[in-house]
Amino acid sequence: MSTPRRLLARLRDLRAKGAAPLSELVMLVAAELVTEVCSVYVRRSGDILELAATEGLNANAVGHTRLRVGEGIIGLCAATAAVMNLPDAQNHPAFAYRPETGEEPFASMLSVPVRRSGRTLGVLAVQNRLPRHYTEQEVDELETVAMLLAEMLPANGSADRSSEGLGGTVPRVFSGASLMTGLAIGPVVLHGARHTGIRVLADDPEAELARLHEASDRMQRGLDELIAGVPMSSRSTDASASREVLEAYRLVAADAGWLRRVEVVIRSGLTAEAAVQRVGGELHDRMRRIGDAYLRERLADIEDLAGRLLTTLTGDTPRPPVPPGAILLCRRLGPAELLDWHADGIAGVAIEEASPSGHAAILARALGIPAIGATRGMLDTAEPGDEAILDGDDAQLILRPEAEVRQVYLRAQDVRTAQYARYSSLRGQRSVTSDGIHVKLMLNVGLALELAQLERTGADGIGLYRTEIGMLARGAIADVAEQAATYARVLDAANDKPVLFRTLDLGADKLLPGTVSTEENPAMGWRSLRIGLDRPALLRRQLRALLLAAGGRSLSVMFPMVATVQEFRQAKALLLAEAGRVRPAPERLSVGTMLEVPALMWQLPALLKEVDFLSVGSNDLVQFLFAADRGTPSLYDRYDLLSQPVFDLLEQLLIAAREAGVPVSICGEAASRPLEALALTGLGFSSLSMSASGVLPVKAMLAETDLAGFRPVLSAIRRGVGASGSLREPIATWARERGLPV
Residue 323 three-state SS: coil
Phi/psi at 690 (5° precision) = -155, 175
Q: How far apart are CA 247 and CA 527, in angstroms?
A: 25
Q: How far apart are CA 429 and CA 299, in angstroms?
A: 44
Q: How far apart are CA 113 and CA 119, in angstroms?
A: 10
Asked if omega into 335 is within 30° of 0 (cis), the reply is no
Q: How far apart are CA 302 and CA 308, in angstroms?
A: 10
Q: Which residues contact 43 (CB under 8 A, 6 or more apart)?
A: 49, 50, 69, 78, 120, 121, 122, 158, 159
- Angstrom distances, CA of residue 269 to CA of 30, 186, 262, 264, 387: 19, 43, 11, 9, 42
Instruction: Give the closest residue to 142 by CA, choosing from 106, 176, 111, 109.
Output: 111
Phi/psi at 449 (5° precision) = -60, -25
Is the distance from CB of 338 to CB of 358 less than 8 angstroms? no
Name the pairing type of β-strands 664-667 and 613-617.
Answer: parallel
Residue 187 three-state SS: strand
* Residue spans of alpha helices (H) in 661-706: 674-683, 692-703
Is the distance from CB of 557 to CB of 592 less than 8 angstroms? yes
Q: Which residues are catalytic?
A: 359, 667
Q: How far apart are CA 535 and CA 115, in angstroms?
A: 47
Q: Which residues contact 169 (CB under 8 A, 6 or more apart)?
A: 400
Is the distance from CB of 3 to CB of 135 less than 8 angstroms? no
Strands (E), 402-526: 440-445, 462-466, 499-502
SS3 per-residue string spanning 449-466:
HHCCHHHHHCCCCEEEEE
Half-sphere exposure of 74 (CA within 13 A, CB side): 26
